Amino acid sequence: MGFCPHDVFEQITDDHFFKKGNLLMFEIKSSLPFENDFVLDFIAYIKYSETEQEYFLEKISTSLVNTKSPAQHRSQVFYGLDIPFFSAKEIFNLLQGRAVYKNYTASSENLRFWFQLDFSRTDTLGNYKFVKYGDTYNLDTILSKYPVKELRKQELKTALLLSLKKGNIHPVTFVKETKLEKKFICASPATKSIKIFPLR
């Protein structure tokens, strides 16, 4: 599922936008449905830099709402220059409280961190503060401690690692002697482990 600042940037920097009245700022609004009756509303704020003579993504204002319980929602503003770009699904996962792994470049330096929102702390603008976890949390090593059937095949293992790094809850099969148990898991860098959930 595919909203990402890069996607918006590619759309709005097409030549026809440059010919439409020299807009200095505009907004793109949209809503994306997710599982369990959640909807992610977002507004992307696009600005034109007269110095650089190009458009750039200033920020994305997001709000995650459960359509069955509208009073229970979480909002967060993601600034284009402060953090790596997150996809819509990654933003959904962050607002659900899960961690997302990003490998990105900042100030010519290659960085690798797990990002997670701390819902107990906010900044002066009301945004939840980010907690970052480095490579001391090695997901591959952590997973190897569990009898997960999907780890036995490289293709399935690669897909599992990629999914968990995006912050997803992923279905796996636990092998216990002769029994197979289906569970959901997600990454948990805060506890240096994984979280295990029963099938819904």
CB distance 116 to 130 below 8 Å? yes
First to last CA, the chain: 22
| pLDDT at residue 48, as a whole number | 83
CB distance 40 to 64 below 8 Å? yes
| pLDDT at residue 16, as a whole number | 42
**Cα angle 161-81-114, degrees, rounded to a multiple of 5:** 25
Three-state DSSP class for 46?
strand
125-136 tens-digit pLDDT: 999 999 999 989
Per-domain boundaries in the chain: 5-133, 139-198
Chain centroid to Cα 77, Å, comes to 13
CB distance 54 to 85 below 8 Å? no
Q: Is the pLDDT of residue 162 over 60?
A: yes
**pTM exceeding 0.75:** yes
